[in-house]
Chain A
Amino acid sequence: MTTGKPQLVTKRKGETLRLVPKSDLVASSVESYRASMLKAVEAPGQAVVLDLSAIEQLDSLGITLVLGLFKTCQKAGAAFSVEGVKGDIVRVFKLFNLTKFFPVTEA
């Protein structure tokens, strides 16, 4: 249960930007995360990694947020991937065939 206050940790290592949300990506948090994530990827570098290792829930609005990030990176020419995803959440990505568009690595 990680439905606490939205907190985004960003780590830049070389040309790779790592985004680490610290709470679930659900309706109550996505708007906060959207602002901070989009600001972070204004200068994405060559690759952006969304690290979901800290979250346990991802609802439809959270998926919308992930898709928004992916499209922004696509436009900027940066590679996008999702890492640290729990198995149940991987099922959600697969349910909508999103794993065909960007790598989703299970934790």
Chain B
Amino acid sequence: MTTSLRVLLVEDDETDADLVLLELRRGGYEPEWRRVDTRREMIQALANQDWDLVICDHRLPAFSSQGALEVKRERGLDIPFIIVSGAAPEEVVTEAMRAGAQDFISKNGLVRLVPAVQRELREAALRQERRFIEEELAESQGRYAMMFHENPAPMLLVDPATLLVVEANQAAGTFFGHPLDVLERTRVTELSVLAREGEWRGIQRSRRQRAYVFQDRVLCADGSSREVDVYAVKISQGRRPMLLATLFDQTERHAAEARAALLAEAVAQVSDAIALMDASGSVQYVNQAFERLAGLALSAISGWTLGDLLDEVSLVEAARRAASGEPWDGRATLRLDGGRLREVAVRYSPVRDASGQVSHLVAVLRDVTGEAERERQYRQMDKMEALGTLAAGVAHDFNNLLTAITSAAELLKSGLPADSPAQSRVAAIQQAGLCAAGLTRQILSFSRKGGEQRVPLDLSVLVRNALQMVRSSRPPHVTITSELTSGIWVEGDPAQLQQVVLNLALNAIQAMQASGGTLHLALSETREEGHGTVRRYALLTVEDTGCGMDARTQERIFEPFFTTKPAGEGTGLGLSIVHATVTGAGGRIQVQSRPGEGSIFKVWWPCAGATARPAEQPAPVDVSGHESILLVEDEELVATLARLGLEDLGYSVSIRPDARAALDLLREAPDRWDLVATTLALSDMTGAEFATSLRAIRADLPVLLLSGLPMPATLALAESGRFAEVVPKPYTPHGLAGALRRVLDSRPGPSARPAAPRTVAKPAPKEREALRPAVLLAEDSQTTRSMIQSWLERAGYEVVAVEDGVGALERLKEGPDPGRFGVLLTDVVMPRMDGMSLAKLVRAMDPALPIAILTSNEDKETVTSALHLGVDEFLNKPFDAPALLGCVERLLARHRERMAERRSAETAHEVRQAQQRMVAVPEKGLPIYSICEPLTDAGGDVFRCMTCADGSILFVLADVAGHSVQSSYAVASFLTMLSAFVGECVTLMALAPGQSSPATERPRSLHLCGLYGSIPCHPLQHLADKFNQGIQNGPFPEIPVCALFGLWNPASGCLEVLNAGIPHGIISRRDGSAEPLALNGTPLGIFPEPPLESAELRLQPGDRLIFGTDGFFDVLSPQRQPFADLAPGLWGALRETPVDWALSAVCSKVREHAQGRPTDDLLVIGFEQPPLSRSPEDLFMHLPSTPRAVDVACDRLGECLKASKLGGRLDESAFFDITLAVREALSNAVIHGNGNRPEATVVLRCQPDDATGRLTVSVKDEGPGFDLEAHAPPEDPLSERGRGIPLIRAYADEVRMDGSELTLTFLAEEKNP
């Protein structure tokens, strides 16, 4: 077996080359060789081919082994290089070996060649392998470095022995917020909130596990903590074991998972039913509400479609639209277990995946069964209302026709002989007319438009008449029996009662239509005892032997429009009208029935009291007369018949078809007429308008109204006071004449006849109480309005019903009697003005009037809004009569209480007003005046002031919110606090360091050592803070207080004001100008640190200030103009008046402005700056903000100082120092405080005091001030800035900064001799 070997022979002798090759072959090699003998050839050979071995002769004619080694070295080749040469000295061999030859073999000793080749090839292979490994290692280390340092994930190299971070990548530094050098000195457990030392140690101990993952929460430099997954791997760095930890921030993922879990829980628990389907509509998920609604668990529904649950063809369309990406809303019926049905509102929405494709469908279901039922009821009510409107219109015209018929019949009858056979026929016409009138009332009753007429009647007679009608129409196989007790008197509308009997009887016959049977009617009187009273009822029993009813039908038979009859054969109204009629009259109805066993209806109708039974019929009254009557009637036939009838009775009658013609006639001869009778609806104006116009012509002319309107409206007109009497249509000439006679006979004068009893009069409401307040009802639905009005009137209440809020307001404003109405009942949604707006306006007009909202929408927002408006109660529709009456009773009781309170308060107010001195009074003998006029006994405006040791006056105005009893207690509490705090503040100011004689200014800062550490604070701010805390920590934290704190030094004219919500005060200057002090601020007691605004003023002698609460500035005139608009002008105009008189005069103007109807407590204070008290040596200057003004001031200061006694004690250097320090203070004020604005003022005040040897200089600008302590000399001595304040501090003995005022004090030293 031979081994191939690529050999480059550098040899010039072919023989020697062959010998070498021979030797190689002998050693088992199969040489692939080339021989070269020059440098060029060797370079070429190396370039063309890879070689395993170079065998080179030592000496060649044109080359050498050194040259060959050099060629190999130049190319960086690692090819074994063996020199085969003749004998050579040892130093040659050594030199060759140094030059890179691997061996040197003598040509005579070629036996060593093969072993040498074998050895060198082995060595070369080893070198090759080592080189490869080194390259791999270098590459690996590079990859590691890149992976570690450039990895976006935080990575830590941790020493497992110490758990110290040995190395951290940049991402770790960013993640933890620590510099890398800090991070690399930290134990890894210190970076962890959970200090997972066990995990870190466990990794190292584990022999089998090389990688380890655990969760941790690490702490970052900013204090935040992050949730991480730690992936730790054991590695070796050199020979040291290390842990390489990679941190994966899972904070957001965990938060997202928590959010997703919360969302899933919310969906699971939300009250709406939610179902999630896949794109094919198959249910994948339903929430708990869905399971409750459907009565099925998710496991049962899963895989269904909603179509399996819902009966609605539209769902197919819904699913199709949702699948195509469109939402769908609609309603469907949900089939429940047991066949029960619920109506649900369904909303289908598509759910799209990331690619925008609809992947799922979501359906939200809401049970609207109740809502749908109410909607159905409202629709029915609308139908009834429309029907009622139609019926009312028909009734008006129908009554006109009936008037004509009955009048004509009466006239015809009066012209017939008494024994004429036509008498009975005419009587039949009259009877038919009366029946038709009853029919009209029935129509109105049916539509709940009113029209019922409650009269005493014998129920047995009515039942017998009804039975007679039933018998005439009964089927032959139905037998009718009766057992009626006579003389049972009740009160009711005959038509309604007849309808009750007929409906029950006809229903009974209907039930026996198929099989026949017996109808039995019984009437008796029964008594029921309870609560110490005995009630008598007429008991009507209607019993049949028909098909009967099951329990479910019995539950619903009194519901409107419920019927068991085939469509088109029954309206479903009969029994509901019976029920409404009976219960509306205070009775009750019961039914007993079983299928196949017939039914028994029992009706209990209250018996009439003894007084209700009709008295004996009055003897016919002589209704004839001779007076002149003007009849205004647009129906010609009715007018003619009335005229004929009245003329027959002796009256003189003129007819006019419209109001305008009638008024013209009246103007021609006003005294010609004794009475005007007018119909209600004239072509050109209403009867009411006509009556009003007529009054302008002749006020004493009585007007009789002929009304075709339903009874309630007619009664309302009768009560309006415009008409002497109202005659409802239809009437007869005799009836009309009777009304004329009553009116004419009741008038004083020669034509008056003895008064006759009024036989046509409105029935007085039952149990009506004198002076009982009326109920004002605003309801746009005529049906509901009539129903409520009916219930209330039956209970004895006077009701004024209007259609909307505007109507209600008109009624409330029109009457002179403010207590006319005791309750307002109002619907919410009405045309022109809704109930909420009405409630708001009514509450502003009359806080005492109880208001109840009639609403079908009891949502929280409506309730909250209504409560804010002061609504007293809610009555949710639909409601029944007891609920309504209970509500009205409660509200009336409340109204009585409020009226009593109001009368008491008004009395107290009047007394207080009478006793109050309405003049400004000085407070505690100080030159500060106040006027306080509480609106109620418990006024909420407070004024306190106190004198400080230096003569300053500390004052506080406070306006406590509200006027309730609680507010009055709060005022008492706050007054105690204020007194304590003001006293404390004044005491502390006296103790504060720097306090000097009263001639100097008061200290501007308090250093409250011992109480609050050593916190410098401003006295007013301190007072406001204390008061604010006191309110919040006191017994009335919910009552905020507006306040204004002032500190006024009348001697210096210094005024500081801190405002917390009091309106802007006004300052009037000596030049007559007056302007508001625009200081704002938040009331106290609301925020821990309320934003307040303060100002410091230098008052000049004659300047006047006025401060007041909102009860002063915000008083509105009837034209809604606030007094604040007028106050500056007034306050300025009163400059020539002494300030206390001026204050009184302004308050007098406020009262005029409010026209004597203040709405809030009034508190106003005022004062005038007296002449400033200062020594003749004092210097006081107002300077413009210019550098030149600084020079002038410094010159003036120097002059004053030199002229003063103190100046005599100062040497030139002291003058220099003082002048330089003051100059710096002034320059600072001009440049920094006032920003070089010439119009801004700098105030300079110098007070040399020879007695104390002190010179006090204060400089005040308009800026915010600065921190004196922050101004040290510049660190760089060559700095060109920051020397002003250090100069001042160097040359003044004391320097103090209060707000924007810098005060320098210089202590005089005796002159050096």
Contact = CB atoms under 8 A, between A and B. Distances in A.
Given A1-B1198, A27-B1190, A57-B1219, A96 B1212 contact: no
B1195 interface: yes
Nearest to B1230: A27
Given A1-B1195, A27-B1231, A71-B1278, A59 B1187 contact: no
Contact of B1195 (A3, A60, A87, A97): A3
B1216 interface: yes
A57 B1217 CA distance: 10
A80 B196 CA distance: 70
A100 B1230 CA distance: 32
B1220 A96 contact: no
B1278 A67 contact: yes
A64 B1276 CA distance: 13
B1220 A92 contact: yes
Contacts of B1198: 1
B773 interface: no
Given A59-B1287, A60-B1287, A26 B1280 contact: no
B1224 to A, nearest CB: 6
Interface in A64-102: 64, 67-68, 70-71, 87-88, 91-92, 95-98, 100-101
A57 B1277 contact: no
B1290 interface: yes
Interface in B1217-1262: 1217, 1219-1220, 1223-1224, 1227, 1230-1231
Contacts of A8: none
Interface in A14-34: 26-28
B1220 A28 contact: no
A57 B1287 contact: no
Nearest to A66: B1280
B1188 interface: yes
Contacts of A56: 1216
A61 interface: yes
B1283 A60 contact: yes
A63 B1266 CA distance: 23
A26 B1191 contact: yes
B1287 A88 contact: no
Interface residues of A, number: 26
A98 B1274 CA distance: 12
B1273 interface: yes
A88 B1216 contact: yes
Given A96-B1277, A96-B1283, A101-B1277, A3 B1191 contact: yes
B1277 to A, nearest CB: 5
Interface string B1166-1183: 000000000000000000
Contacts of B1219: 57
B456 interface: no
Given A27-B1190, A68-B1280, A59 B1212 contact: no
A61 B1287 CA distance: 11
B1224 A59 contact: yes
A28 to B, nearest CB: 4
B49 interface: no
B1120 interface: no
A57 B1231 contact: no
Residue among A27, A57, A64, A68 with max Cβ neighbours from chain B (10 Å) = A27
Given A3-B1195, A27-B1187, A88-B1213, A100 B1287 contact: no
A95 B1290 contact: yes
A31 B23 CA distance: 106
A57 B1223 CA distance: 10
B27 interface: no
B327 interface: no
Nearest to B1192: A3
A92 B1227 CA distance: 17
A21 to B, nearest CB: 15
Contacts of B1194: 3, 57
A7 to B, nearest CB: 15
Interface string B1189-1202: 01100110010000
Nearest to B1282: A60
A56 B1286 CA distance: 20
Contact of B1223 (A26, A95, A98): A26
B1191 A64 contact: no
B531 to A, nearest CB: 99
Interface residues of B, number: 30
B1281 interface: yes
A59 B1227 contact: yes
Interface string B643-669: 000000000000000000000000000
A28 B1213 contact: no
B515 to A, nearest CB: 123
A4 to B, nearest CB: 9
Contacts of B1216: 56-57, 88
Nearest to B1190: A27
B350 to A, nearest CB: 75
A32 to B, nearest CB: 11
B1277 A98 contact: yes
B1284 interface: yes
A92 B1284 CA distance: 11
Residue among B1190, B1230, B1283 with max Cβ neighbours from chain A (10 Å) = B1283
Contact of B1188 (A28, A67, A91, A97): A28
A61 B1227 contact: yes
Interface string A39-56: 000000000000000001
A61 B1190 CA distance: 13
B1191 A59 contact: no
Interface string B1204-1218: 000000001100110
Given A27-B1227, A28-B1191, A59-B1227, A97 B1287 contact: no
Contacts of B1188: 28
Nearest to A68: B1280
A64 B1223 contact: no
Contacts of A59: 1220, 1223-1224, 1227, 1284, 1287
B1227 A67 contact: no
A28 B1278 contact: no
A32 B206 CA distance: 85
A28 B1187 contact: yes
Contacts of B1287: 59-60, 92, 95
A91 B1287 CA distance: 11
Contacts of A70: 1278
Nearest to A87: B1213
A53 B1217 CA distance: 18
Given A28-B1191, A57-B1219, A60-B1287, A97 B1231 contact: no
Contacts of B1278: 67, 70-71, 101
Interface string B414-431: 000000000000000000
Interface string B673-687: 000000000000000
Contacts of B1191: 3, 26, 28
Nearest to A59: B1223
Given A27-B1187, A57-B1219, A63 B1283 contact: yes
Contacts of A63: 1283
Nearest to A70: B1278
B1190 A28 contact: yes
Contacts of A67: 1278-1280
Residue among A3, A59, A92, A97 with max Cβ neighbours from chain B (10 Å) = A59
Interface of A: 1, 3, 26-28, 56-57, 59-61, 63-64, 67-68, 70-71, 87-88, 91-92, 95-98, 100-101
23 contacts: A1-B1195, A3-B1195, A26-B1223, A27-B1190, A28-B1187, A28-B1188, A57-B1220, A59-B1223, A59-B1287, A60-B1227, A60-B1287, A64-B1281, A64-B1283, A67-B1279, A68-B1280, A71-B1278, A87-B1213, A91-B1213, A96-B1273, A96-B1277, A96-B1286, A98-B1277, A100-B1277
Given A59-B1227, A67-B1280, 5 more contacts: A28-B1187, A57-B1220, A59-B1220, A60-B1224, A101-B1278
